[in-house]
């Protein structure tokens, strides 16, 4: 999202999905849309922008194993510039396309 606040966004404090994941953030009607944080039962966490129920825009994802990706997302996949840091300190910084 760019510029100011997008029309039709509503903040909801917490929503628990059937799989146990918890989302806090903005919605547009019945979908995650805007800024929000989702935490899965295994400890994985995504904090960033959503569009039509998918990670899209700038965001950071903490994997359950401790690895972290901070960068651009499209259609729930790392896509664009980002930095992936492994728990052992290894790091890749560059362009991503469809999670690769």
Sign for the pseudo-dihedral over CA of 34, 38, 44, 45: positive
3 lies in some domain:
no
Is this structure's pTM higher than 0.85? yes
State the residue range of the domain holding 73. Answer: 9-96
Predicted confidence pLDDT, tens digits, the chain (100 residues): 444 568 899 999 999 999 999 999 999 999 999 999 999 999 999 999 999 999 999 999 999 999 999 999 999 999 999 999 999 999 999 999 999 9
* 34 assigned to some structural domain: yes
Per-residue three-class SS string for 5-43: CCCCEEEEEEEECCCCCEEEEEEECCEEEEEEEEECCCC
Q: CA–CA separation, 37 vs 70, rounded Å?
A: 14
In a domain, 42, yes or no: yes
CATH code, 49: 2.20.110
């Amino acid at each position: 999202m760019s510029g100011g606040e997008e029309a039709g966004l509503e903040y909801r404090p917490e929503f628990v999905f059937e799989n146990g994941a918890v989302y806090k953030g903005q919605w547009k009607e019945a979908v995650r849309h805007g800024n929000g944080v989702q935490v899965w039962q295994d400890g994985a966490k995504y904090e960033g922008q959503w569009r039509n129920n998918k990670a899209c825009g700038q965001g950071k994802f903490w994997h359950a194993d401790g690895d972290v990706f901070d960068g651009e997302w499209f259609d729930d996949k790392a896509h664009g510039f980002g930095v992936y840091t492994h728990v052992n300190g290894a790091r890749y910084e560059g362009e991503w396309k469809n999670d690769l």
